[in-house]
Every structure is written in structure tokens, then in C-alpha cells.
Amino acid sequence: MRLRHFTLVDKMKVLLLAAMVLSVLLGATFASRCIRDNSNGEPGCKTKEEIDQGFWRHNYDPTRYWECTRLNEPAVLRSCQDQAFHPSQLECVDWDDWEWEPVCAPLTRPDA
């Protein structure tokens, strides 16, 4: 059995495939990047994604969160009572289960 030698075309195909995989991985990384937010975190509720997610952290008070209930309507400020709002679980949790996470800007902002 003879070993097949790779031609220049075969090598170019492999390089092209590797470049495509790298592009997809980099694109996914940049798409999911968190943009630092110094506001109170109130979303504009102007996109379907904001409505679908529903809940958004309040950046200054871990016991509070914003809720997008309707498209293009102001977010409603809610409270967790004696608990904290967990930004990745999107629900109120006991303080023992709460962890600080970097604050990220919502997809849109409310109109001024």
C-alpha cells in the first residue's frame, strides 16, 4: 500500500478549512462579548431578544432587576425582597447562591 502525497491543491483546501473554522470561532467570541456598562442597566425593551430574555440586572442594586414586558414599552423595576437577582440565572436567589458578575450593557437603551 502506497502513501498518498498531498498535492498543493490538497494543502490549500486544508488551509482554507482551518481559516474558515478560525473565522467562525472568532466571530462567535466577539458576538458574545460583554460591553462594560456604567449605567443602572435599564434596557430599552426595543428588540425581540430583550423581550424574550425578559429580565435584566440592575447594575447598582443586586436586590433589584428590570423586566421587559412589552416591545417599545419602558422596563419595569422589580425587587427580589430578601434575596439577590442572579444575572446569569435571571432569577432571585438566596444570598449564598449569588455571585458578582461583570455588568454588561443591555441591547438597547430607553429613550431619554
Sequential pLDDT tens for the chain (112 residues): 666 676 776 766 766 676 665 555 544 444 457 899 999 999 999 999 999 999 999 999 999 999 999 999 999 999 999 999 999 999 999 999 999 999 999 999 999 7
Predicted pLDDT at 7:
79
Q: Write the CB contacts of 53 (distance below 8 Å, at least 6 apart in sequence).
A: 68, 90
Predicted pLDDT at 27:
47
**β-pair type (64-67, 55-57):** antiparallel
